[in-house]
Amino acid sequence: MIRMLLVVFTCLVGGGSAALAGAEGTSRDPAKLHLESANAIIVDAENGLSIYAKAAHDVTPIASLTKLMTAMVVLDSGVPLDERLDVDLADIDFLKGSRSRLRMGTSLPRAEMLRLALMSSENRAASALARHHPGGTRAFVAAMNAKALTLGMAQSRFEDSTGLSPNNVSTAIDLARLVRAAAQYPLIREYSTTEAHFVDVDMTGHTLGFNNSNALVKKSDWDIQLQKTGYIREAGRCVVLLAMIASRPMVIVLLDSIGKYSRIGDAQRVKHWLETGDSLPAPDVRTRMKNAVKAFVVKNKSAKESRDTAKSRGKPIKGTFPPRLVQNVKVRGA
């Protein structure tokens, strides 16, 4: 009995050195999986057992992964999804200065705001959802933290509905619980995996198109049932997925990935490892940075040579005025 409990505990914490049996007898050795993400966990969604873990207990900012909790609180509240919500000054991001295509005064049904927050990570949409909650934003955030406790997310804290605050924190383990809970909501599964969507943003018939922030939803070799991406400087690049891999529903949590595309690369490495037991090589970060610096130097050297050539030929350099025009420019206040 004691031996059995020890085996179960090893599976729950994950990331052990022992090889794990996969679907159809595939042997999965966690030591073969090399990820660039600082924190990660892979969980079998059917039985809740961890297959792989990397710094999964570390508390870290989670950026827009927050919006999965936002969506659950909205749907739990029972507010009408056809009610129109407006974008107000309070929804503008003065913290990070992030851009939004939803201008002030834009009015959309709550369901559309929810879809845009999940698929396109629209911050103003997520803010408007919280602001129009019964009791306002403060009550909404309180409901988010209460929901986290009911899900057993003891290391998670929420301060806003968008994820722009670096004080929205969690762990890979807690986020796996969040993904499994969010998957119980059909609308969250549908909205988060919508590839592209068009909305009429005003009465004039002006239409805006939005794309999913996760390129993997368009990949034919992926069967993604739920996803969410996230990024702020403090959190790095993050992504969570619920996908069918090797005939099993798998939760994948990847946090604080290095580089713009590394979270997607890590997801591909996880998928390959789950299906074959083999690893795809992770790119060497130092080599990649060295090549980037080299390319930058070559580009600037080439640009300098072009400017020198143009100067020697007496031609105006792009981005400057010919000398005779500069002399004729009158400076205001001079």
Same-domain pairing of 123 and 198: yes
Whole-angstrom distance, CA of residue 151 vs CA of residue 185: 14
- Whether 243 and 128 map to the same domain: the answer is yes
Q: Which pLDDT score, from 0 to 100, does residue 100 have?
A: 93
Same domain, residue pair 236 and 309: no
Shared domain check, 211 and 66: yes
Q: Is residue 81 predicted with pLDDT exceeding 60?
A: yes
What is the model's pLDDT at position 12? Answer: 42
Verify that 214 and 188 share a domain, yes or no. Answer: yes
Catalytic residue among 37, 100, 120, 121: 121
**Catalytic-role residue among 37, 50, 67, 213:** 67
What total number of domains does the chain contain? 2
Task: Convert the pLDDT of each residue in 29-58 to its tens digit.
Answer: 899 999 999 999 999 999 999 999 999 999
pLDDT at 94: 93
Our answer to whether residue 67 is catalytic in this structure is yes
Please give the pLDDT value at position 260.
Answer: 85
Looking at the structure, do residues 245 and 297 belong to the same domain, yes or no? Answer: no
Residue 170 annotated among the catalytic residues of the structure: no
Higher pLDDT residue, 330 or 65?
A: 65
- pTM, entire model: 0.79
Indicate whether 217 belongs to any domain. yes
- Side by side, the strands of the sheet bearing 248-257 are 50-54, 39-44, 248-257, 236-245, 224-232
Of 37, 50, 64, 100, catalytic: 64
- 200 DSSP β-pair partners: 207
314 and 208 housed in the same domain = no
Say if residues 237 and 260 touch (Cβ distance below 8 Å): yes
- Is the confidence at residue 134, as pLDDT, over 90? yes
**161 classed as catalytic:** no
Residues 146 and 78 grouped into a single domain: yes
pLDDT tens profile 281-299: 766 655 566 555 655 665 5
Is the dihedral angle over the CA atoms 61, 134, 98, 180 positive or is it negative? Answer: positive
Domain limits for position 173: 60-281
Cα torsion angle, 178, 194, 47, 58, sign: negative
Q: Which pLDDT does position 309 carry in this prediction? A: 56
pLDDT in tens, 191-244: 999 999 999 887 667 889 999 999 999 999 999 999 999 999 999 999 999 999
Does 312 share its domain with 172? no
Is position 7 within any domain?
Answer: no
| Same domain? 129 vs 218 | yes
